[in-house]
Structure 1
């Protein structure tokens, strides 16, 4: 079907946001979209469409508002997620950083059932998942392997994770549940807040898109699709600026209830999708309550949050699965440990300049005594560059690139290597 509509969406549609927050949102959305999309749009992968249904015409503004107005909080289904960030597989890296070799539980390099270790697996490769949600207080996500399953269950103030391959479990108590419950009842009681500016629901993502839309962004409705047997509109978001690593983000939106069903992120350099995530099967009926209960099988090794020195209750108890997507937390972490920082430009070509305390850059290659997985990971990313700024190393992925100069400056953004060098030269 031919495109239905094109819109230069106005940021005032969201209301109540100051100029500073809009500018911040315009920077956050392009950078966050790859890491957060899997959480907000679904923790899901992409599937083939089965025809283009005939649907009433709808404008881009109206479709975004339909997402924002959706109150669907119950669903269950199966998804596939394919992620190609242009980095080595993170499966072994998490274990190496945790201090293991290949002798940890289940042969996973020392990694436990801790979600902080295991959810990094979704940052590369193709995975099949089962998901279920019954309001903001009950979610379940399971990563299915050939002969094993890893499940993450959130129920009220309790979070359980279980790895059937290694027969290990992880348990955390949501420390803030009581505080939230005291402040108010209703569907959001007991829910942990996400970092500022990081969307964790389809509604929150739609609000961020509205804030980010403007002179730097094209938002259109580009026909229809059918995903998991459901009719959907295709919302396409494209940068108008040059230099971005992102070509477009496409969201398939359920025509009936406004729930995002599929998300595809394409790189400006061409090639396969960076993220291709979508439902293969979905049901919006109330899920079986037993999905959100868990008792460790007899003999299971259980780790309580904080026992391994890496987490405590306040940090480990997510209010939703989106908190555990790799990279999402760092985007809202602020500038702790940073001597001076600023954002150069805006929208999709915005670049953050950071001056590191001590004016010491990182070495061009990983230390020889670092674990093999860490050396492989860092060495695969780095390119030596030079210019008016001096010399440095660009650590590259297909989405976010980082230039670290030898005198301790850092330039990072969802922009190409050439754009980073250009910004560093202009800032010198």
Structure 2
């Protein structure tokens, strides 16, 4: 994996509550005959460093989730005006207002297709998400992190502590988010999740973004997972992860995919990773509670044992969870592809009115003991008592967990 801070922190931290994603772009079908390599050799190749790259990534979702872009653009005043002007009998064509927040942003990003321009080097990482009517930029350099939304002209930023070492930053990133725009990082995260919990084989050679590539096929060893298999494309020359395709047990077509459709291994210019907020932009500094800041400081200690580090990370997860609601507690149940996140209640940041929105009604089902929100790659159970269970697993499995 590229030896830089390539992960970014998009608004998908709560996405697991309603939609667990994975990723789909048709891989190019070309006659490729590469020298035979074992799974171990390919995994080792993926650990090699790449000094830098840039390219265009396409993310395509076939989860059935609705595009929320139009409803997010409509204010209550605009909808009221539309209702007044709409002829009799056409009231059903007036869109419902969906408040834009981190959850709706997550659904919007997971639904449909997106094109992302990415740049990476030892100096930083930049992702430009090209929305149909706007653009979002995420920039990470050695000094700071920036997330810019052109539609709202807002910037979220935080300074990066130069004393916090790179491995610790990577480990913290891995704990709190999954980068859905970087095929290499996603491939690495899924392979880590697969360790001891899946069968990995070498599939047919092919091409991605004009590069000869090997294919790793990951098949979960699980009776309850919604993931049937994962195809990972590995650049034959550099070992970089070029694409990920996730197949669901619920449908024949690829459920979710991300892959480069063009890539250059020339190191981007350092100026790409510089950022200044545009004139008139609202700038907000991402701040953590004192407990989180103290834990981050403690994680910098070089004399930590593995047990002490894990305890600090567990504390960090708990403290970060409090950011979503003062009374929310959570725990992780199971391992690998059977992993389930359990919470005592929905986070306060979650827009509960969205569950009643007609755009999402096809994904919601009443079951014994609660309500289920499901896609081909995720299931979320909201129990009648208010507890939440979510994961890429079957409804029956969540109900079993909820009753134990």
Q: Shorter-chain TM-score category?
A: 0.5 to 0.7
* TM-score, normalisation: structure 2: 0.68
Correspondent of 2:127 among 140, 149, 154: 140
Deviations 1:52-79 (A, max 9, x none): 4111111112212221x22114111112
CA 1:350 to 1:174, structure 2 compared with 1: closer, same or farther past 3 Å?
A: closer
User: How far apart in 1 are the matches of 2:387 and 2:261?
Assistant: 45
After superposition, the Cα gap between the structure-2 partners of 1:196 and 1:393, relative to the gap in structure 1 and judged at 3 Å, is: same
Tell me by how many angstroms 1:264 deviates: 0.5
Is 1:379 the equivalent of 2:361? Answer: yes
- Partner residue of 1:347? 336
Gap change, CA 1:346 and 1:244, over 3 Å in 2: same
- 8 Å contact kept, 1:47–1:280: no
**Contact 1:95 1:101 survives alignment (8 Å):** no
Aligned to 2:188: 206
**Offset at residue 91 of structure 1 (A):** 2.8
8 Å contact kept, 1:160–1:169: no
Question: Unpaired runs of 5+ in structure 1?
Answer: 1-30, 39-44, 104-108, 307-311, 316-330
Q: Structure 2: how far apart are the matches of 1:424 and 1:119? A: 26
Quick one: which of 153, 173, 184 aligns to 2:139?
Answer: 153
Q: Which residue of 2 aligns with 1:122?
A: 109
- Match of residue 322 from structure 1: none
Which residue is equivalent to 1:9? none
Using the TM superposition, give the Cα deviation of residue 351 of structure 1 relative to its aligned residue in structure 2, in angstroms: 3.9
Q: Which residue of 2 aligns with 1:174?
A: 158
Secondary structure of the residue aligned to 1:194 is helix
Pairing of 1:325-404 with structure 2 (within 5 A): 336=322, 337-338=327-328, 341=331, 343=333, 345-356=334-345, 370=353, 375-386=357-368, 391-404=369-382
Superposition deviation, residue 341 in structure 1: 4.8
Cα distance change, pair 236–301 in 1 and its aligned pair in 2 (3 A): same
Contact in 2 for aligned 1:87/1:380 (Cα 8 Å): no
Structure 1 residue 406 corresponds to structure 2 residue 384: yes
Query: CA 1:313/1:220 → structure 2, altered by over 3 Å: closer, same or farther?
Result: same
Note if contact 2:124-2:273 (Cα within 8 Å) is conserved in structure 1.
no
| Partner secondary structure for residue 357 of structure 2 | helix
| Matched-pair contact (CA < 8 Å) for 1:403–1:412 | yes
Is 2:109 the counterpart of 1:131? no
* Equivalent residue, structure 2, for 1:48: 27
Q: How many residues align structurally?
A: 335
What's the CA shift for 1:255?
A: 0.8
Per the alignment, residue 196 of structure 1 pairs with 175
Q: Cα gap change, 1:148/1:350 in structure 2, threshold over 3 Å: closer, same or farther? A: closer
**Runs of 5+ unmatched residues, structure 2:** 1-15, 80-96, 290-315
Work out whether residues 349 and 415 of structure 1, in 8 Å CA contact, stay in contact via their aligned partners in 2: yes
Q: Distance in 2 between matches of 1:354 and 1:115?
A: 18
| Alpha-carbon separation, structure 2, partners of 1:248 and 1:91 | 30
Contact 2:123 2:270 in 1 (8 A): no
Residue 53 of structure 2 contacts residue 263 of structure 2 at CA under 8 Å; is this kept in 1? yes
Query: How large is the Cα RMSD of the aligned pairs?
Result: 4.1
TM-score, reference length from structure 1? 0.65
Deviations for 1:260-300, whole angstroms, at most 9, x for unmatched residues? 11111111111332212111110010124443344566xx4
CA contact (8 A) 1:70 1:203 kept: no
Distance change in 2, residues 1:219/1:93 (3 Å) = farther
Contact 2:22–2:255 at 8 Å: present in 1 too? no
